[in-house]
Amino acid sequence: MAATISFARGAPSLDIVDVDGLRAAADEALAADPGGMTGYGTSVGYVPLREWIAQRHGVTTSQVLVTNGSMQADAFLFDALVAPGDAVVVELPTYDRTLLSLRNRGADVRMVALEPDGIDTAALERVLATGADPTLAHIIPNFQNPAGYTLSGPKRERLIELARAHGFTIFEDDPYVALRFAGETLPTMVSMAPDVTVYASSFSKTVCPGIRVGYLVGPEALIAEIARRATSTYISPNMIAQGIVNQFCRSGRIERSIETVREALRVRAETLCGALAEHLPDARFVAPQGGYFLWVDLPSGTDVAAMADAAADRGVQFVKGTDFVLEGGGSSLRLAYSGVTPAQIEEGVGILAEAYAQAGAPAQAA
Amino acid sequence: MAATISFARGAPSLDIVDVDGLRAAADEALAADPGGMTGYGTSVGYVPLREWIAQRHGVTTSQVLVTNGSMQADAFLFDALVAPGDAVVVELPTYDRTLLSLRNRGADVRMVALEPDGIDTAALERVLATGADPTLAHIIPNFQNPAGYTLSGPKRERLIELARAHGFTIFEDDPYVALRFAGETLPTMVSMAPDVTVYASSFSKTVCPGIRVGYLVGPEALIAEIARRATSTYISPNMIAQGIVNQFCRSGRIERSIETVREALRVRAETLCGALAEHLPDARFVAPQGGYFLWVDLPSGTDVAAMADAAADRGVQFVKGTDFVLEGGGSSLRLAYSGVTPAQIEEGVGILAEAYAQAGAPAQAA
C-alpha cells in the first residue's frame, strides 16, 4: 500500500507550521516573563494574550476567556447554557464533535439545512414557528466544517433578528476566519450583535493545533460564570503555551504565519477543485473561499461507505458525510485539503475516482 | 504597607524554577519532534511523556493518561466515578478545591480525621461500619495539603484492606511525592494495590505550575473510559507543554530541579518551624518531611479570621483552617512555605505573632 494520503483530518501539514517561529517565541517569552508563564495563572488565561485578543475584537478584557483549545471553550459554554432537553439549533451538516458534545449533554438537537451561503434562515424560521424555543444556535460562519460554506452578510443580519425575536444565543464558532483566500471578510456577528452572541475561536489554525489555545468572547457576566467553572476544572489553562502564543502574536509572526497558511490553502483548494472536476465529474461541490474543507455530494444512491473502504485500501482517507448529520448524508463526504500537498491531492483524487467507480457509484453509473 | 509575604499559595517562588532549563527543553523538544508537538495529539497525552511516566511507575502505557494539570485529571475521574449522592471519603482537613469539586458534583462527602501519620483508619472503619458504602476515598498520602502530614506504611496497608473489603477505590492524589527532604519514601498505594487504586500526580511541583501537566495511573479500562471523556472535552491536552516536560525529564533536568526544590523546601520548613517555636509558642504543629505546607493549631478559642485580617493589614497572607473543612477549623491555619524565602519567613512569622497577640489569641491568652 502506498503512503497514506489523508483528506480526513482538519489539520495543517507540518510544512505550513512556523516551527522556527515557535521556538523563537518560546525562548523570547520565557526570557521576558518567566514568572507569569511558569506560575499558576488564573482561569481567564494568560493576561497579556487575553488583552491582545480583546484589542483585536475591540472588546474589554473582561469579555474574553482564554482556554485550552476552543473545544474546551465549547464544553464550558455548553455546560453553562445547555441543560438536558434544551433545544439547540445546529447546521446540517455540522462538526461531528459538536454534535456529539450536544447529544452527550442531552440536548434536543435541531439540525437546520446549510446552504452555500449559510444556514437556511427560512427553514430556521419554520423550526422556530413550531415553538422549538432554542437556547442556543451553533453556527460556524466562515468556511464551515464540514461544508466549507460561508454565511452571507444578509443571513448574518437575519440570524441576529431571529435571535433577538426568539431569545436565543448565537454561538459563533469561528476557528477558520483568518484563513480566507478569496472574497471579502464579513463582520463577525459578535461585533454586530454582542447582546445575543458568544464567539469562539482558536490559534490551532494560525499557530498550530498542538498549542491548544482557544478563546471565548461574550457578555461579561457569562464570561465570569465560565471563568468560575474553569477555575474549578483546572485552576488555570496552560500559561506556557499561552505565553508562547502571546509572543507569536505580538512579534508579528502570526501575520506571516497566516499568509503562509492562506497561500498554501488557496493552492490546495484550487488543486482539489481542479482534480475533482477532471477525475470525478459526478462530484458536486462549491469552491471554498477559505478554510480547510470541501464538501462533496455524489449522486443519490452512491455508497460512500463502500467508497471509503475502497479508498482506504489504496491509502486514501476521508470522512463520510454520515458523520456530520443525525440521519442521511450517505452520498456525501468531507475532504480536508489542509494537510495534503498539491501532488498528494492530485494522486489522492485519482484514487478517490477509482474507489468511486469500483465501489461507490450507484449501479446505473458504474 | 510592606511588600506582601504570602504563606497562602501553594506554589514555588521563581528562584527555584529552572527557567533556563525550560527554555532549553522547549528549544530541544521542538527541534526534535516538531510534528508531534505542533500537531493534534490524542487525549492520552504526548506519547513519549506517557511512556516515560509508565516506566517510572512500572506500568503499561495503557494505564497512563496525561492531562492539562492534575486538577483536570481529578475532574475527569470524579465525572467517571462519582454520581450525585455517592459517598466519598476525604481527609479532615483536605484540599479546598477537592472539597468544592466533590460538593459541586453532589457527592455525599464524608470527612475522616487526619492524624500526623495519615487518615484515622479506625475512624474510617467506624464510618464504613455505619454502611456509608463509599465509591471513592480521596487520600493525599505525602505531605498532605493542607496539613503536611504523611500516611504511614501500616496505614497504607490498612487502607488497602478496607478498600478491598468494602469495594471502594482509593484515589491516591500524590503531587508532592518527589519533594521529600527528610525521612524515607514509602511505596505508593497504586504500586501496592493497583486493583483498588487510581493515582494522580503532576509536574507542577517538579517543573513548574504554569506548564499544567498532570497525569493519572489506573486500571486500563478506567483510563480508556477517561480518555474518551477527554477526547470529547478537548481532543488532546497541550502537546507543546507535554513535549517540553518530556524533554525536561529525559534530559535529566527534572532530577536537578527536584534537588533544587527539595533543598530550598528543607531550609524553608526548618526556618518556619524554628521561627514559630521562637515567636509563636502557642502554635502546635508537626514538622513536615517534605512538600509545601505546615498546619498550625492555635489554642481553642483563637479567632483565626481576625488574625488573618490583622496579618493581611501588615502584608502577610495565609489560608484559614476553615477553608479545608466542612465545619470547625476556626483555630487552625495553613502556612505554605514554598513561595517564601527564609528571610521572608522570619519576618512573616514575626508579623503573624503580632497579629495573633493583637487580634487572634483567646481572651485569657491576650
In chain A the domains, ranked by start, together with CATH numbers, are 5-16+255-365 (3.90.1150.10), 19-253 (3.40.640.10)
- Three-state DSSP at B68 gives coil
Counting DSSP H helices and E strands in chain A, the numbers are 13, 13
For residue B46, the chain A residue with the least C-alpha distance is: A210
Residues in A closer than 8 angstroms to B246, CB to CB, are none
Which of B9, B15, B68 best tests the A interface by mutation, with the highest count of A CBs <10 A?
B68
Neighbours of B65 (CB within 10 A): 29
Instruction: Count CB atoms within 10 A of the CB of residue B126.
Output: 12
> pTM value?
0.96
Q: Bridge-partner residues for B202, per DSSP?
A: B214
Residues of A within 8 A of B17 (CB-CB) are 34, 38
Write the CA distances from A134 to A50, A81, A90, B142, B362, integer angstroms.
30, 11, 10, 49, 58
Q: Do A68 and B234 touch (CB under 8 A)?
A: yes
- Calculate mean pLDDT across residues B71-93: 97
- When computed from its CA atoms, the radius of gyration of chain A, rounded to whole angstroms, is 21
Residues of A with CB below 8 A from B27's CB?
23, 26-27
Helix (H) or strand (E) holding B199: strand B197-202
The nearest alpha carbon in chain B to A96 belongs to B232
Rounded Cα distance, B362 and B145, in Å: 26
Residue A41 has a pLDDT of 94
Residue range B23-42: average pLDDT? 97
Q: Give the whole-angstrom CA distance, residue A174 versus residue A163.
A: 18
Cross-strand pairs, A295 = A334
Strands B293-297 and B316-317: unpaired
Region at A176 (left for phi over 0; alpha for psi -120 to 50; beta for the rest): alpha
Tell me: the pLDDT tens digits for B99-118? 999 999 999 999 999 999 99
- Which member of B23, B71, B239 has the closest CB to residue A235? B71
- Separation of alpha carbons B165 and A149, rounded Å: 59
| Nearest-neighbour CA in chain A from B97: distance (Å) | 7
**Using the beta-carbon criterion (under 8 Å), do B244 and A240 form an inter-chain contact?**
yes
**Is the C-alpha dihedral spanning A149, A153, A157, A158 positive or negative?**
negative
B208-223 mean pLDDT: 98
Written as nine digits, the cell of B204 is: 507542577
Q: What is the pLDDT along chain A (366 residues), one digit of tens a residue?
A: 557 999 999 999 999 999 999 999 999 999 999 999 999 999 999 999 999 999 999 999 999 999 999 999 999 999 999 999 999 999 999 999 999 999 999 999 999 999 999 999 999 999 999 999 999 999 999 999 999 999 999 999 999 999 999 999 999 999 999 999 999 999 999 999 999 999 999 999 999 999 999 999 999 999 999 999 999 999 999 999 999 999 999 999 999 999 999 999 999 999 999 999 999 999 999 999 999 999 999 999 999 999 999 999 999 999 999 999 989 999 999 999 999 999 999 999 999 999 999 987 887 444
Chain B residues in contact with A209 (beta carbon < 8 A):
38-40, 239
Paired residues of A67 in beta bridges: A214
pLDDT for residue A34: 98
**SS3 for A6?**
strand
Model confidence at B366: pLDDT above 80:
no
What mean pLDDT, rounded, does chain B reach?
96
Which residues of B are less than 8 Å from A75 in CB distance? 232-234
Are the Cβ atoms of B75 and A233 closer than 8 angstroms?
Answer: yes
B361 class by beta-carbon count within 10 Å (0-12 exposed, 13-18 middle, 19+ buried): buried
A104:B232 CB<8 A: yes
If we measure between CA atoms, which residue out of B123, B145, B141, B120 comes closest to residue B132?
B123
Higher pLDDT, B3 or A114: A114
- Output the CA angle B227-B232-B234, nearest 5 degrees: 90
With CB atoms and an 8 Å threshold, state whether A19 touches B11. Answer: no
pLDDT at residue A366, rounded to an integer: 43
Q: What is the pLDDT of residue A126?
A: 97
Q: Which of the four pLDDT bands, split at 50, 70 and 90, describes residue B229?
A: very high
> Does residue B3 carry a pLDDT above 90?
no
Q: How far apart are CA B222 and CA A238, in angstroms?
A: 25
Render the burial of B129-139: b for 16+ CB within 10 Å, e for the rest: eeebebbbbbb
Burial class (CB in 10 A: 0-12, 13-18, 19+), A287: middle
* Shortest Cα distance, chain A CAs vs residue B226, angstroms: 15
Contacts of A241 in chain B (CB under 8 A): 238, 240-241
Half-sphere exposure (Cβ direction) of B78: Cα atoms closer than 13 Å: 30
How confident is residue B2, by pLDDT bands cut at 50, 70 and 90?
A: low
Residue B365 confidence (pLDDT) = 46
Q: Could you give the CA distance from residue B322 to residue B324 in angstroms, rounded to a whole number?
A: 5
From A350, A361, A349, A252, select the one nearest A7 (Cα to Cα): A349
First to last CA, chain B: 25
Contact between residue A101 and residue A257 where contact means Cβ atoms under 8 Å apart:
no
Task: Give me the mean pLDDT over the B215-243 stretch.
Answer: 97
Write phi, then psi, for B146 (nearest 5 degrees).
-100, -5
- This model of the complex carries an ipTM of 0.95
Chain B environment of A72 (Cβ under 8 Å): 233-234
Nearest CA in chain A to B39: A210
Residue B166, pLDDT > 80, answer yes
Region of B131 please: left (phi>0), alpha (psi -120 to 50) or beta.
left
